[in-house]
Amino acid sequence: MSDHHHHDDDPSREHDRPLSGPALRVKALESLLVEKGLVDPAALDELIDTFETKVGPRNGTRVVAHAWVDTAYKQRLLANGGAAIAELGLVGRGEEIVVLENTPKVRNLVVCTLCSCYPWSVLGLPPVWYKSAPYRSRAVIDPRGVLKELGGEVPDDIEVRVWDSTAELRYLVLPERPAGTEGWSEEQLAEIVTRDAMIGVAQVTVPAGSRR
């Protein structure tokens, strides 16, 4: 997909307004790099399509749901995240992933204080808040305050573990399976798993009115 035939329904896209600032700079840079033979615009389209349609938190929800219904898989996932995720045939296989299991006594929270490290093969590209100064600065010093602000106060008797992604090894939180989901299919379970739960800032809940 290119600039010109996409998202016409979205007025926030900049292409229907005069280009300015970074939009202009990037356009000029792309033209220059194409002219020099350094990039192929079709490869840029393919990269963007990968990030917009092929990777994303849906991949992660499949991993979590499978781990919830298959104990042996869960053990493999916790022992070697990358290999277990590759079993499901997801795009980014090969990425080093460590899976962190939430339990009734332990909550895990993932951050990258220095930049934006994120498990792209299972969650796609990180949301703006994950890359923002407020989250990067506060998650390590005040994880309970951040969790409370985002709607999930953590009781004092539960341990909070914060994981700062400072290397080419990425973390995925395996949230707790909520009560009331007994007998659900893997597909039904995957539907209720959220991106934020797999980063650790939320827990998975059964939405009101959801049925088996």
At 107, is the secondary structure helix, strand, or coil?
Answer: strand
Give the x-and-dash track for 161-190 against other proteins (CB under 8 A). xxxxxxxxx---------------------
Q: Out of 76, 78, 131, 188, which residue is the one contacting other proteins (CB under 8 A)?
A: 131
Neighbours of 142 (CB within 10 A): 13
At 78, is the secondary structure helix, strand, or coil?
Answer: helix
Question: Taking CB under 8 A as the rule, does residue 39 contact other proteins?
Answer: yes
Non-local CB neighbours of 105 within 8 Å, separated by 6+ positions: 157, 158, 159
CB of 199 to other proteins, least distance (A): 10
- Residues assigned a catalytic role: 112, 115-117
CB of 123 to other proteins, least distance (A): 11
At 171, is the secondary structure helix, strand, or coil?
Answer: strand
| Gap between the Cα atoms of 137 and 7, Å rounded | 34
Which is nearer to other proteins, 88 or 98 (by Cβ)?
98
| Gap between the Cα atoms of 60 and 113, Å rounded | 22
Which is nearer to other proteins, 50 or 188 (by Cβ)?
50
Which is nearer to other proteins, 184 or 204 (by Cβ)?
204
Question: Taking CB under 8 A as the rule, does residue 14 contact other proteins?
Answer: yes
Question: Taking CB under 8 A as the rule, does residue 83 contact other proteins?
Answer: no
Q: How far is CA 174 from the centre of its chain?
A: 12
DSSP letter assigned to residue 89: T
Which is nearer to other proteins, 42 or 179 (by Cβ)?
42
Question: Taking CB under 8 A as the rule, does residue 137 contact other proteins?
Answer: yes
CB of 184 to other proteins, least distance (A): 24
Site for other proteins in 89-128 (CB under 8 A): 91-96, 98, 111, 113-116, 124-125, 127-128
In residues, how long is the chain? 212
| Gap between the Cα atoms of 189 and 191, Å rounded | 5
